[in-house]
């Protein structure tokens, strides 16, 4: 029986997490801004305190923006991830700037585990880990769309190729 099925990364969960994180970052910036404004008001007689407060605000905002941009780049890079399940192997392709391909022969697959949090269940994705007979313990596939189907196919490969009983 020959088949090839391709699964992709689903960014919905990460986008929701990004939005929640952005809300927390905005709250943090507002609180720090209030702190620096209070510091300026209480220590107005100290020369240069307003400049220190302005630089503190600038630093906090720049740090927050850089974290947000880093999260966006991470999500974008994950959209170039593919999990391809063939009748005799699993191929995991990832990368945007640096591309990598991992091939797992079916006879090396020992077991498969699926995990999903409440946000992943809401978004229709899940994490899948594959235990192999190789040197590394497990290989992880994060936020795979249609994860139940991928889990079923990988489990069938493991059962079909199981030769150690």
Q: How does residue 162 score in pLDDT terms, banded at 50, 70 and 90?
A: low
Residues 51 and 91 in one domain: no
Q: For position 119, what pLDDT does the model report? A: 85
Number of domains within the chain:
2
Residues 32 and 50 in one domain: yes
Token readout for 44 is 């107005």
Query: N- to C-terminal Cα distance for the chain?
Result: 23
Query: What are the backbone dihedrals phi and psi of residue 5, each rounded to the nearest 5 degrees, phi first?
Result: -125, 135
Q: For position 161, what pLDDT does the model report? A: 62
**Helix boundaries (H) for the chain:** 12-42, 49-78, 118-123, 147-160
Residues 144 and 87 in one domain: yes
Q: Is a pLDDT exceeding 60 seen at residue 163?
A: no
User: Could you count the other beta carbons within 10 Å of the beta carbon of residue 158?
Assistant: 19
Residues 111 and 142 in one domain: yes
Residues 72 and 89 in one domain: no
Residues 21 and 46 in one domain: yes
| CATH code of residue 132 | 2.30.29
Name the least confident of 11-25, 80-94, 123-137. Answer: 123-137
- 3 vs 4, residue with greater confidence: 4
Identify the domain boundary among 47, 77, 107. Answer: 77
CB 128 within 8 A of CB 141: yes
> Which of helix, strand or coil describes residue 89?
strand
Give the range of the structural domain holding residue 155, as residue numbers without chain letter.
4-9+83-160
> Which of helix, strand or coil describes residue 68?
helix
Residue 99 is inside which H or E element, if any?
A: none
Residue 165 lies in a domain: no
Q: For position 58, what pLDDT does the model report? A: 82
Identify the domain boundary among 38, 54, 77. Answer: 77
Identify the domain boundary among 24, 44, 77. Answer: 77
Q: Is a pLDDT exceeding 80 seen at residue 24?
A: yes
Residues 95 and 141 in one domain: yes
Residues 73 and 46 in one domain: yes
Q: For position 165, what pLDDT does the model report? A: 45
Residues 99 and 153 in one domain: yes
Query: Rounded to the nearest 10 degrees, how much is the dihedral formed by the CA atoms of 9, 13, 17, 18?
Result: 50
Dump pLDDT digits (tens) for 140-154.
888 888 888 889 888
Q: What does the pLDDT average to over 58-69? A: 84
Residues 123 and 146 in one domain: yes
Q: For position 136, what pLDDT does the model report? A: 62
Dump pLDDT digits (tens) for 86-118.
888 888 888 878 888 888 888 888 888 899 888
Torsion-angle region of 56 (φ positive above 0: left; ψ -120 to 50: alpha; else: beta): alpha
Choose among 90, 128, 93: nearest CA to 109.
90
Residues 44 and 89 in one domain: no
């Amino acid at each position: 029986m020959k088949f090839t099925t391709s699964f992709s990364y689903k960014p919905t969960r990460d986008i929701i997490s990004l939005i929640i994180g952005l809300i927390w970052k905005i709250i943090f910036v507002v609180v720090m801004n209030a702190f620096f404004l209070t510091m300026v008001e209480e220590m107005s007689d100290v020369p240069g305190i307003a400049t220190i407060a302005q630089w503190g605000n600038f630093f906090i905002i720049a740090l927050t923006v850089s974290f947000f941009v880093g999260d966006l780049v991470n999500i974008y890079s994950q959209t170039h991830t593919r999990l391809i399940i063939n009748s005799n192997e699993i191929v995991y392709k990832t990368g945007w700037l640096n591309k990598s391909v991992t091939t797992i022969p079916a006879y090396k697959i020992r077991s498969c585990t699926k995990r999903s949090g409440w946000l992943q269940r809401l978004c229709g994705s899940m994490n899948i880990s594959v235990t192999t007979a190789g040197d590394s313990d497990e290989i992880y596939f994060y936020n795979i769309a249609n994860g139940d189907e991928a889990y079923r196919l990988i489990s069938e490969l493991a059962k079909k190729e199981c030769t150690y009983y």
